[in-house]
Structure 1
Amino acid sequence: MARPLIGVSTYWVGSARWGGWDLPSALLPAGYPLLVRRSGGLAALLPPDDPAHAADAVARLDGLVIAGGPDVEPARYGAEPDPRTDPPARERDAWELALIDAALAAGVPLLGICRGMQLLNVALGGTLAQHIDGHRGPRVGVFGRHTVKPVPGTRYAEAVPEATTVPTYHHQAVDALGRGLVIGAEAEDGTPEAVELPGDRFVLGVQWHPEMDEDERVMRALIAAAVRAAA
């Protein structure tokens, strides 16, 4: 079949500069579409839109990636904001939650990355720990690295059966698991590093940033699921 079409969520920024231009932009780090391409897919970028259009967008895709970014608004999971939590990105929250709901309803293979994993958990009724230490990089804009260990018998462990060192940049984490989710990998301190829905549908979230790594196995697992679903 043709390379599967993988939608990747993006976000609005008030200003981005390139050449002589300085304009409002829809932004996504290049690592995401490059990882999709290296893994055998064709990337389609999805800037925030009316949530009512999410199902129409997902219906045209073979797979969906919810990208990393700012903290999920705590009101989405019934919490008051911690002083260390990012200002809300309400338009993006609404759009990406609608994309997740549409993918779950349609059975479209879904991968959440960092914020995307947290949103998946919130979409299914889970909660987040608003601040943890030791998982953000050494300074702003620099990724750290730590080891994640797969949980035997999970979809993640099938794709990546050994402990690996991954690029990480987050200060929030899954707290109470959403409906049906199980933990697919953990950090050495017990922090959930991957969550997934058991069963035939491919629904996986990872807390780190595979787009910043040479290891393509997580994205290749999504691409393989997209190919199977389209067959």
Structure 2
Amino acid sequence: MASNGCETPLIGVSTYLEQARFGLWELPSAVLMRSYLDSIVAAGGMPVMLPPVGRWLPEHVSRLDGLVIAGGADIDPSRYGQAPHQETGTLRLDRDAAEFGLFHLALEADLPVLGVCRGMQLINIALGGTLHQHVPDVCGSQSHNPRPGVFGSNEIKLAPGSVVAGLIGDQVTVHCHHHQAIDQLGSGLTAVGWSCDGITEAVELSEASFVLGVQWHPEEDSTDVRLFEGLVQAAVRRKLP
């Protein structure tokens, strides 16, 4: 996909700190599923992996043209005033600290942002919202997270006229793997996508030029990178004089 004559936008992507095996080694590493990187490249951007180490500053974020907040572990529920549910998983406090910082810096710089799964939840919490800590308690179904390491499939309806619907249409089948979801919306966010059981699946921040969150995993569909194209095109528009 062409970038309208501008330099290829640099799209930062948040990463994990995990024990990883490669070659002869098994060591603590900064890692990310390649599907995120391939989706950004296919959409016309160049991915830059952002590890949750150190402290992100405005001058770091100023070098980026867009930001993807990737999926991953549950967010510390104390950030939205709750105690952990018995089903809340192992927390990654390093990621929480880094990604909340990145998101607020991105907002201040009006950097285009796409939040994926955990990323959408983080956007909501950062803006004062809360989560359902275990979706089966709400909808009585495991359809959003059928079993560990396996993506489910859900039909999502999107609000006509929303930015997300403008990119992918009013209805879409998605890959999902989550057991938490938005409860109360954060300040300025609008829900624009829902699964058939009423779970919020997409949000937009109208006061920003491009801040979207989706509860599913668009990077897992290699044939459809339209959400990433939307992010990259927003980054291109931001670079234009």
Q: In structure 2, what is the equivalent of residue 4 of structure 1?
A: 9
C-alpha distance in structure 2 between counterparts of 1:11 and 1:100, whole Å: 16
What are the equivalent positions in structure 2 for 1:97-136 lying under 5 Å apart?
A: 97-133=100-136, 134-136=142-144
Q: Give the Cα–Cα distance (whole angstroms) in 1 for the partners of residues 126 and 16 of structure 2.
A: 19
- Residue 57 of structure 1 and its aligned partner are, at CA, apart by 2.2
Shift of 1:59: 0.9
Query: Within 1, Cα distance between the matches of 2:98 and 2:215?
Result: 20
Provide the rounded CA distance (Å) in 2 between the counterparts of 1:229 and 1:72: 30
Query: Which of the residues 215, 219, 229 maps onto 1:207?
Result: 215
Work out whether 1:192 is the aligned partner of 2:196.
no
What displacement does 1:89 show? 1.1
C-alpha distance in 2, partners of 1:6/1:125? 26
What is aligned with 1:225? 234
Distance 2:11 2:132 in 1: 30
- Structure 1 residue 129 displacement after superposition: 0.4
Extract unaligned runs of 5+ from structure 2.
Answer: 1-5, 137-141
CA distance in structure 1 between the aligned counterparts of 2:58 and 2:216, rounded to whole angstroms? 27
- Letter paired with 1:113: V
Secondary structure at the counterpart of residue 176 of structure 1: coil
**Paired residue for 2:81?**
78
TM-score of the two chains, using structure 1 as the length reference: 0.96
Identity among equivalent pairs (%): 49
Summarize the Cα distance change of 1:47–1:83 in structure 2 as closer, same or farther, 3 Å threshold. same
1:137-176 equivalent positions in 2, closer than 5 A? 137-176=145-184
Q: TM-score, normalised by structure 2?
A: 0.92
Deviations 1:109-138 (A, max 9, x none): 000000000000000000000001234343
Deviation >2 Å, runs of 4+: 53-57, 133-138
> In structure 2, the residue corresponding to 1:147 is in which secondary structure?
strand
Per-residue Cα deviation, 1:185-228 (whole angstroms, up to 9, x for no partner)? 11111111001111451000000001101211111100010000
Counterpart of 1:11, as a letter, is Y
What corresponds to 2:59 in structure 1? Answer: 56
Rounded Cα–Cα distance in structure 2 between residues aligned with 1:222 and 1:165: 20
Q: Distance in 1 between matches of 2:119 and 2:104?
A: 13
SS in 2 for 1:34: helix
Q: State which of 26, 31, 34 in structure 2 corresponds to 1:27.
A: 31
CA distance in 1, matches of 2:144, 2:168: 23
Q: Which amino acid aligns with 2:144?
A: R
- Contact conserved, 2:160 with 2:170, CA < 8 A, in 1? no
Per the TM alignment, residue 158 of structure 1 is displaced from its structure 2 partner at its CA by 1.2
> Secondary structure, in 3 states, of the residue corresponding to 2:234?
helix
SS of alignment partner, residue 182 of structure 1:
strand
Displacement of 1:50 after TM fit?
A: 2.7
CA distance in 2, matches of 1:120, 1:112: 7
Work out whether 1:39 is the aligned partner of 2:43. Answer: yes
One of 65, 90, 96 as aligned partner of 2:68: 65
> Which 5+ residue runs of structure 1 have no aligned equivalent?
none
